[in-house]
Structure formats: structure tokens, C-alpha cells
Amino acid sequence: MSERKIKIDVLTLDSVQCAACGYMMESIAAMPPDVQEMIEYKEWSIKNQAGIQKFLELNGRVLPTICIEGDLVFESVIPQYEELIDELAKRAPTPEMRERILSLRDKGFDFDRIKENLEKAGAGLHTRRDSAVE
Amino acid sequence: MAKQMLIDAIRGKRTPRAPWVPYAGVHCAFVIGEPADKFLKDPQLLAKGVVETARKYKADGIPLVFDLSVESESMGLEIKYWKDNVPSVQSHPLSDKTVEEAGLKVPGPNDGRWPVLFEAARIAKPQLDELDCALMGLACGPLTLASHLAGVRIFTDVVKNKEKAHHVLKFCAQVVKKSVEMYCDMDCDIIAIVDPVASQIRNETFKEFVHPYCQDAIAVIHERGKTSSFFICGDATKVLESVCQIGTHGFAIDEQLNLTFVRDLARKYGVGFGGNLKLTLAMSLGIISPREDAIVSLAAGGTHGYVFAPG
């Protein structure tokens, strides 16, 4: 059975149109591969109905916001690498995963796979009013 | 339409009514039935879209383009074009290199899409003058440009690796200065430094990494007799007092701020303010009534240094 991943929801206006939203998304997409294995994330653009519902469900207050495991963690602040690592570690489902994440604190961002990671997260793909988010 | 009224409002003066600016951007492409990617690369279409949109919405001012990838593209960064959105920056050459190692140079009027903008401005400006509508030039701000060049790493570097961040921002300041010079050469009436990500940092970081790197560009705008503004997006509450002190004649904000709070702060510093119409909630999604939103905004903004505009 595969290990449960840490769930990240990024509430945005639109990561293409809004630079702040884009770099919020990129801060997650640039996490190194060892961290990528432990997280799953998605962009929720407020331009479509699913995004609005997610914003309401998570009690969002500002855009952009990074939510980790349902908590509004980074609200209108693009996080530093270490801040992200620490907040992910706090919400890891097991002590082992927490230790694994903290061991990557000195690793730093990895820019080699950003494009594929952003695509996987649906960044910029659901920004029309009639967009459906799977 | 009333260009001077808009200039007066941005400069924090009283006006007979609140002047109006639709930050139309690639919506101009929609207005003339063209895809955004084609529109942004063709000076004839660009000019046509801007002028028709200004006429359609009876604008007192309109940006030539609202596209923060222009500077990056003209330095050779990879850009992704979209049919219904602004281009996005796809590569970050300074994520692992210095400015010198990456071979970056401050772009000039012959680089990237700048020739398209010059030609579009040449066509559009007299038509906008005839409509008494101001032409606005929007330069990518230093921190947003630094994010494009160095990627999201810049937000860690401004705290943990300040020397490196200053190195990048110093170069960005030169690019912003050159951009505003070019918008002056296009005879734009109003020139704004647009730094949306500057709301996503702490106030101390804004003072250290945004304020100083805007000063040369602002000096150029003022020396050339133009009107200056600073645009910021998102929840900029924590940095708004610093925005008021940055040295531009006025500033613009998005829909996430409380307009009464913004108005009081702007008046304290004697600068103009604008924006805040609920672009997403009202105009795009219709969750709240655009009409009521407009009425509330006009009441809060008043006619003392306020520009009625989307956020």
C-alpha cells in the first residue's frame, strides 16, 4: 500500500495572469524530487466554480494562499524553502515522513522539473469560467 | 473622456468626477475578436485593440499593454503564449547563475517585442489623443522581474542570501529604468511600475528590496515630465504605507484591499490611488453585483485623488 501524501491546495486568481499566484505555485513545483514524492497539490483558480467552492470550503481569506492539509498556511506571502519544509513536516501523516522531510531542509529548490510539476498540478489550465477541475 | 482629469487624480488632486481606467490588457484582443497571442505580436492589432477598447469603454486612460513578460522576453527568457491570457515566463536564467554568467544585458528598443510596442504606440497615440484618453506605459517592477529571472528562489534569497538578491535586484533596477525611458520615448502620458509580487513579502523586505530599486526609474519619469504610478496586487495591507512612500505620484491596488483604508492612507501621504473594483467577484463571476460594487467604490473613493478602475 502506498504511503499517504501531504495534500496541498493553492488558491489563486490564475497562476498565468497573476505573477504572485504563479510564484506561489512555483514554490511548490520547485520542491526537490524527494519532497515531490511525499506531496500532492493542485491549483484552484477562483475563476471557475470548482475553485470558488474550494475557496469557500477552506475558508480562504486572500489570494493567493497555500493550504496544507486544509490549513491556510501562507496567505499572501510567498514562502521561503525552509518555511515550506517546516510547515510540511508539521503536517506529515507519520513521524517517519516528518523526519524524512526535515532531513531535506538543506536541499533547496530544484528548477529542473518545474514545467512538468506545474502541468501535473493543473497550473494555468483551469482559468476559464466554464473550466472543469478533475 | 478626460486625460488631464486622470493625470490630476493620480497626482492626488481633486477632480470634478472620478476618472476611469479599464486595465483592459488582453481583453483588448477579445474586443476586436483576435486571440491574445496574435494581438500581442502585431502592432496594427495591438493599436486597433487599445483604441477600440478605449472608445468602447469611454476610458480616460488605457495601458498600451498589461504584460509583465515584455522585459523578460526581450532578454531571451522562454515565454509561453496563451490564446486567452497574458504570456507567462517559463525559464529562470538566474536560478543558478549570476547576471554575468547568464550573459544578460539590459534590453533596448530593438530587442524582443519592444519594436512592436513602439510601432503600436506610434499608431495608437494620436487616436487616443483625439479621444482625450491618456496612454499608459506599464513597466515590470523590480521584484517581479527578479522573480522572472531567478525564479521563486528570490523570495528565499531576500532573507537568507541578501548579497545575491541585491545583485539580481540591482540589475533589475537598470532594466526597469530602461523600460520607463522607452515608455517616455513612446510618449506615454502616465508610466507605472507594476510589481504585483511586492505584496507577497514582509514590509522590511519591501523597504530593502523594492523601494531602492524603483528610485532611478521614478526619477526618469519625473524628469521627463510624465505622471508616475506604482501598481501592486493581492493583499498589500502590510506594505501599503511603504507603497505610499515609494515616490510615485500615485498607486493602484487590486480587489483584495479595503478601499476606505487605502483612501485614508493615500490622503495622509498626498498621493493618488485607484483600482479595487471587484474584477473577479463582480465582473468575471457575477457573484456580487458589478453595479453595486461600482456605487460603493465611487462613494468610498470620492473625487480627491481617486481613479475608478478594476482591481
Q: What is the pLDDT of residues A37-70, one digit of tens each?
A: 999 999 999 888 899 899 999 999 999 999 999 9
Architecture of domain B3-288: Alpha-Beta Barrel (3.20)
CB contact under 8 A, A111 and B95: yes
Q: List CB contacts of A53: < 8 A, sequence separation 6 or more.
A: none
When divided into structural domains, chain A yields a total of: 1
CB contact under 8 A, A62 and B256: yes
Q: Is B95's Cβ below 8 Å from some Cβ in A? A: yes
- Enter the C-alpha cell of residue B161: 542570501
Average pLDDT over residues B71-77: 98
**A96-110, B10-24, B47-61, B285-299: which has the minimum mean pLDDT?**
B285-299
CB contact under 8 A, B82 and A75: no
Q: Which residues on adjacent β-strands are paired with residue B136?
A: B63, B190
**pLDDT the model gives residue B21:** 98
- Residue A128 domain-assigned (yes or no): no
Our CA-based measurement puts residue A122 at a distance from the nearest CA of chain B, in whole angstroms, of 15
* Residue percentage of chain A with pLDDT more than 70: 93
Which position has the higher pLDDT, A131 or A77?
A77
Residue B7 pLDDT > 60: yes
B129 contacts B173 by C-beta, under 8 angstroms: no
- Domain ranges, ordered by start, for chain B: 3-288
**pLDDT the model gives residue B280:** 80
- Residue A131 domain-assigned (yes or no): no
Measured distance CA(B273)–CA(B95) in Å, rounded: 35
**pLDDT the model gives residue B279:** 82
Average pLDDT over residues B53-79: 98
- Residue A89 domain-assigned (yes or no): yes
To 5 degrees, how large is the angle CA B25–CA B26–CA B27?
90
Instruction: Return the residue of B nearest to A61 by Cα.
Output: B256
Residue B85 pLDDT > 80: yes
Average pLDDT over residues B241-266: 96
Q: What phi and psi, each to the nearest 5 degrees, are found at residue B78?
A: -75, 130
The enclosing domain of A27 has a CATH number of 3.40.30
Q: Which of B140, B219, B224, B223 has the alpha carbon at shortest distance from B187?
A: B224
Nearest to A17 among B85, B197, B235 (CB): B85
Nearest to A129 among B88, B202, B284 (CB): B284
Per residue in B96-114, pLDDT tens?
999 999 999 999 999 999 9
- List chain B residues with CB under 8 Å of A23: 147, 152, 155, 197, 200
Q: Is B196's Cβ below 8 Å from some Cβ in A? A: yes
- Residue A35 domain-assigned (yes or no): yes
Mean pLDDT of chain A, nearest integer: 91
Our CA-based measurement puts residue A47 at a distance from the nearest CA of chain B, in whole angstroms, of 7
| Residue-range definition of the domain harbouring residue A22 | 6-120
Measured distance CA(A47)–CA(A102) in Å, rounded: 35
Residue A31 DSSP class? S
Q: Is B203's Cβ below 8 Å from some Cβ in A? A: no
Residue B241's H or E segment, with its range, is helix B240-244
Mean pLDDT of chain B, nearest integer: 96
**pLDDT the model gives residue B283:** 78
Our CA-based measurement puts residue A12 at a distance from the nearest CA of chain B, in whole angstroms, of 10
Under the banding of pLDDT at 50, 70 and 90, the label for residue A129 is: low
